[in-house]
Chains A and B, each alone.
Chain A
């Protein structure tokens, strides 16, 4: 696609429920990143994919969070047993190469609200 697409743009869910957030990166971009942005903060790294594999998942806060990218394109961030503290904007970004050389292209984010 022309840009990084994230769906849904907004998600309201009840505490304890399961949610899936989708990211469709720019076609051909091998690197895909998930970030989380809480109110008043900068984006915080969650996980990085190079192709199909999670090359770095050190930013996932706990085992309720999981992400996949089975075919090396679309990625899904999955959150189990949601908590109110999970409320944030979840950002996806893709890059043709290393961030140092190319920078990221960000999606518009999914605003998750856990009530």
Chain B
């Protein structure tokens, strides 16, 4: 079965500390992985995609097929990074490119 697991509901770190938001997935095919972010009172928005290998707002994520993980990392957290983060998996599931989302991790960056 296709599944995305985000084991932490809440992650609190101090400003300037490194951040790692965990994401593990289960998928039988070749997955596409994404991170979406939702800031307070804003809509859900794309943060980054694994296929583009980009760094957005200092965040990076590497797809590890051996460990079936796609953890989100940032070396130095900022207060404005406080938000809800969702890991999502897409692929040609049942003929459509729908997403399966994890339950999300709330990141709190403390001053």
Binding site for B on A (CB under 8 A): 31, 33, 35, 40-45, 48, 55-56, 58-59, 91, 98-101, 103-109
Are A45 and B103 touching (Cβ within 8 A)? no
**Bound form: Cα–Cα A48–B4 in Å:** 20
Please, which residues of chain A bring their CB within 8 A of the CB of B6?
Answer: 42
Q: Is the CB of B86 within 8 A of A42?
A: yes
Known: A42-B102, A56-B95, A56-B96. A100 touches B51 (CB 8 A): yes
| Most chain B CB neighbours (cut-off 10 Å) among A35, A45, A91, A105 | A45
Neighbour of B95 across the interface among A55, A59, A101, CB < 8 A: A55
Cβ of B44 within 8 Å of any chain A Cβ, yes or no, is: yes
8 Å CB contact of A43 from B46, B49, B91, B99: B99
Which residues of chain B are near A43, meaning CB under 8 Å?
44, 86, 99, 101
- C-alpha spacing A33/B101, complex, angstroms: 14
Would A104 and B46 count as touching, CB distance under 8 A? yes
Q: A99–B88 Cα gap in the complex (Å)?
A: 11
Interface residue tally of chain B, by bracket?
20 to 34
Q: B44, B46, B49, B96: which contacts A91 (Cβ < 8 A)? A: B44
Residues of B within 8 A of A59 (CB): 98
Select one of A41, A99, A101 contacting B98, CB under 8 A.
A99
Residue in B34, B98, B100 whose beta carbon sits within 8 Å of that of A56 in the complex: B98
Across the interface, which residues of B come within 8 angstroms of A100, CB to CB? 32, 49, 51, 90-91, 97
Q: Which residues of the other chain, A, contact B103 by a CB distance below 8 angstroms? A: 40-42
A44 contacts across to B, CB distance below 8 A: 101
Q: Quick one: which of B70-111 are within 8 Å of A by CB? A: 86, 88, 90-91, 94-104
B96 surroundings in chain A (CB, below 8 A): 48, 55-56
